[in-house]
Amino acid sequence: MENKKSTDFITSLGIKALTLFATVKDMFYLLMQILHWLFIGPFKGKAAKRDSIFDQMVFVGVKSIVIVFFIAVFTGFVLAMQSAYQLQQLGAVIYVTGLVAVSITRELGPVLTALVVAGRVGAAITAQLGSMKVSEQIESLETMAINPVRFLVVPRFLALLIMMPALAAIADLSGILGGFFIGVTNLNINPYLYIEMTKEFLALKDIMTGLLKSAVFGVIICLVACYKGLNTKGGAEGVGKATTESVVTSFVLIIVADAILTAVFYFGNM
């Protein structure tokens, strides 16, 4: 009996490993298709294709600004208050300026922005493509000799790749603004001194690595959302399941990618 249970466990583990490998392979193939049409599409595309890219940029970026702004501002509030509580015991409240600026630009700005976009935009992309898949609209495009990746995925890929760093920059400024507000009003730090100390602690590398991270997160969100959407099965129930899986998978991969990129950028030369 124990041998049978062990065999079943190993078999189940092997099936899951093979499924994971197949999923990674399919997502890599989707990325190769995106890159293929990304370089060929501009030379053969039509005006409608360009318009769809701008529509997606508005959906991804402009309509996400408000929620990104408020989340980043309140994150700056909380970060400044929590760090000040500890630094006051050391008589080093002024270092709240650098802590907030570096934490926001390196990590919290890009990661929080990515999580917001994955929950809002990634879920919407999966639902849109999933609905088209189960209603056989994808097959209709293929019947008309229209490549679904070129027509549906590439505009969303470009929109996320362009707008994610822009949203991350807004999150950085908003988070620093939140810390500035707490520092000036609650911690009694001189406004001019707060700005000067922020500039002293904040390096260009911190800003650029944060923006690069956000671009990578945008690629992850697009790949996961589009892959789940294009492979949806099972009608309306399948669309809901694919949307949930898309958001959860994006969240996990964003955190993992953030850890890897942080290790590469800041601990690779140690």
Q: What is the DSSP string of 92-156?
A: -GGGHHHHHHHHIIIIIHHHHHHHHHIIIIIHHHHHHHHHHHHTTHHHHHHHTT--HIIIIIHHH
Kindly report whether the global pTM for this prediction surpasses the value 0.85. Answer: yes
DSSP assignment, residue 189?
Answer: -
Decide if pLDDT at 46 tops 60.
no
Judge if 248 and 164 occupy the same domain: yes
Judge if 2 and 78 occupy the same domain: no
Decide if pLDDT at 238 tops 60.
yes
Q: What is the pLDDT of residue 217?
A: 96
Judge if 7 and 123 occupy the same domain: no
Judge if 13 and 117 occupy the same domain: no
pLDDT digits (tens, 9 = 90+) for 142-176: 788 778 888 889 999 999 999 999 999 999 999 99
pLDDT (mean) for 22-27: 82
Q: Name the pLDDT band for 94 (thresholds 50, 70, 90).
A: confident
Domain that holds residue 134: 48-264
pLDDT digits (tens, 9 = 90+) for 181-237: 998 888 888 889 989 988 888 889 899 999 999 999 999 999 999 999 998 888 888
Tally of domains within the chain? 2
CB atoms within 10 A of CB 225: 31
Nearest Cα to 160, choosing from 44, 264, 25, 31?
31
Q: What is the pLDDT of residue 51?
A: 44
Domain membership flag for residue 206:
yes
Q: What is the pLDDT of residue 43?
A: 47
